[in-house]
Structure 1
Amino acid sequence: MGLEKLEDIVDIPYPQHPHCATVLVLDTSASMSGNKIAELNEGLRILTDELKEDDLAVKRIDLAVITFGKGVELVRPFTGISAFDPPELSAGGYTPMGQAILEAVRLVEERKAEYRTIGTDYYRPWIFLITDGQPTDMRKGDEIWEKVIEAVHGGERDHKFLFWALGVDQANMTVLREISPPGRTPLMLKEAKWAEMFLWLSKSLSQISDSRIGEQISLENPVGPEGWGVIQL
């Protein structure tokens, strides 16, 4: 057998393009059953369909999905948009949010190492958390909590990724505010605005894929009069 090329060992589509690793960290605990899990599944389809319509996003956005409910599960590893198949999620179990966040941070660092291995440039990755509750695997001040706070706040401070937290329904926004990095307040989803939120996410990722690495871009305001989110004080 001949020597394998690096790009054959690390399976990254369009390695000549800069990439943006994006991890969706999704609450699939029992409280998400019914309409919420249905809206979440439909939102994943909307996100995928919208990104597949964007030629640059197809080449530059890598999407992964981590769920937390019946444990923490990587249901989709990083996949280029052209090959991404949105999962059909079901609800059940508790809310091991802390471990899910730590897994997302680990996954992002692993992906960046893969980009560096084959010489692919990359944008700052996104971690996008959606929950309707509060963590059941950590409490403020315990070991996992401290690890999560350091991972999220330190990761943002060191420009390793951008962390977004979205609360739906009865989400504990006090906890999400403490987990979120300073300067990025978590948002609460307006009722029935799931599709609008996923459309905003697709537009935001499309904007990133159409920018230069390090360029400042202005995202559409999610809390404007026509937006999908609100800030709970």
Structure 2
Amino acid sequence: MASTDLVLSHHELIENPTARVPICLVLDASPSMEETHYGDRQTPIEALNIGVQAFYEDISKDEMARYAADIAIVTFSDVSRIDTDFGSVERGAPMVSIHGGGGTSIGSGVELALDILERRKKQYKETGVDYYQPWLVLMTDGAPTDQTHHGAGRKVSDMVRQKKLIIFPIGVGSKADMQTLELFSPTRPPLRLQGLCFAEFFKWLSSSVAATSRSTPGEAVKLDVEGIKGWAEL
């Protein structure tokens, strides 16, 4: 993250002391996300971008969520990178693009997300801003091509059990390795997206963020389980 972005991010916390809902989207950006399947007119990466744009737009329209949501995007292929570090929806949604070679380094993507989350939590404490249990959305359409996912999975699972993290592991397409996604989710099974229902998933996610922003940090918030039927294979 550039130094100017760090300063801007820090100023956002000072100028808006609203309790934050930190949300990190960890997204597969390997070349397979550009392949069409089963006659789909869109590629997964195209549908994903539409969903991410809608996510930002829906949150920006909600009076509470627009001030509470603190969003970061990390993408991974054979390398991982920070597309957008934590910040408000006012910055606008980035366009997620394919990068790197044909690898799928799920573990390194998650590790990078956890690193920037820890940095953000430190900024919250420095500025006196309260925050809700962080959310991590992990989406992939394949299987890991290295072994970093084992360690990352243990770390995430420990955080989930300690109620330091909420994770949403989502498989995209029939080739998504659901067993690997299970390593990151000790309390609920991972879900497979219905076709290219990214927009439906992100609408559900934005509604969940809105509901959380109206609660008190530390208070248990029930997710809309019924709404999951609109985007996941059950």
Using the size of structure 2 for normalisation, the TM-score is 0.86
Give me the identity figure in percent.
31
Q: Are 2:205 and 1:196 equivalent residues in the alignment?
A: no
Equivalent residue, structure 2, for 1:213: 217
Once the two structures are overlaid, the 10-residue window that deviates more, 85-94 or 107-116, is 85-94
Deviation of 1:156 after TM superposition, in Å, equals 1.0
Deviation of 1:79 after TM superposition, in Å, equals 1.2
CA offsets 1:55-114 (integer angstroms, 9 cap, x no match): 211111110000002510101011111223322423652111110011111111111111
Gaps of 5+ in 2: 1-6, 36-42
Q: Is the 8 A contact 2:193 2:232 kept in 1?
A: yes
Question: Structure 1 75/222 Cα, relative in aligned 2: closer, same or farther at 3 Å?
Answer: farther
Deviation of 1:184 after TM superposition, in Å, equals 1.7
Using the size of structure 1 for normalisation, the TM-score is 0.87
Q: Is the 8 A contact 1:31 1:92 kept in 2?
A: no
Deviation of 1:20 after TM superposition, in Å, equals 1.1
For residues 72 and 8 of structure 1, what CA distance do their matches in structure 2 show? Answer: 23
For residues 89 and 172 of structure 1, what CA distance do their matches in structure 2 show? Answer: 22
Question: Structure 1 49/117 Cα, relative in aligned 2: closer, same or farther at 3 Å?
Answer: same
Q: Is the 8 A contact 1:21 1:63 kept in 2?
A: yes
Number of residue pairs matched by the alignment: 218
For residues 167 and 24 of structure 1, what CA distance do their matches in structure 2 show? Answer: 14
Q: Is the 8 A contact 1:200 1:222 kept in 2?
A: no
- Partner SS state of residue 12, structure 1: helix
Once the two structures are overlaid, the 10-residue window that deviates more, 150-159 or 87-96, is 87-96
Equivalent residue, structure 2, for 1:126: 135
Equivalent residue, structure 2, for 1:230: 233
Deviation of 1:115 after TM superposition, in Å, equals 0.1
For residues 145 and 89 of structure 1, what CA distance do their matches in structure 2 show? Answer: 22
Equivalent residue, structure 2, for 1:3: none
Equivalent residue, structure 2, for 1:172: 177
- Partner SS state of residue 41, structure 1: helix
Question: Structure 1 191/9 Cα, relative in aligned 2: closer, same or farther at 3 Å?
Answer: closer
Equivalent residue, structure 1, for 2:3: none
2:116 alignment partner, one of 88, 107, 127: 107
Gaps of 5+ in 1: 1-6, 139-143
AA in 1 matched with 2:110: I
For residues 62 and 8 of structure 1, what CA distance do their matches in structure 2 show? Answer: 13
Q: Is the 8 A contact 1:28 1:89 kept in 2?
A: yes
Q: Is the 8 A contact 1:25 1:100 kept in 2?
A: yes
For residues 192 and 87 of structure 1, what CA distance do their matches in structure 2 show? Answer: 17
Equivalent residue, structure 1, for 2:64: 56
Deviation of 1:8 after TM superposition, in Å, equals 7.9
CA-atom RMSD in angstroms = 2.0
Structure with a larger share of its residues in helix: 2
Equivalent residue, structure 2, for 1:66: 74
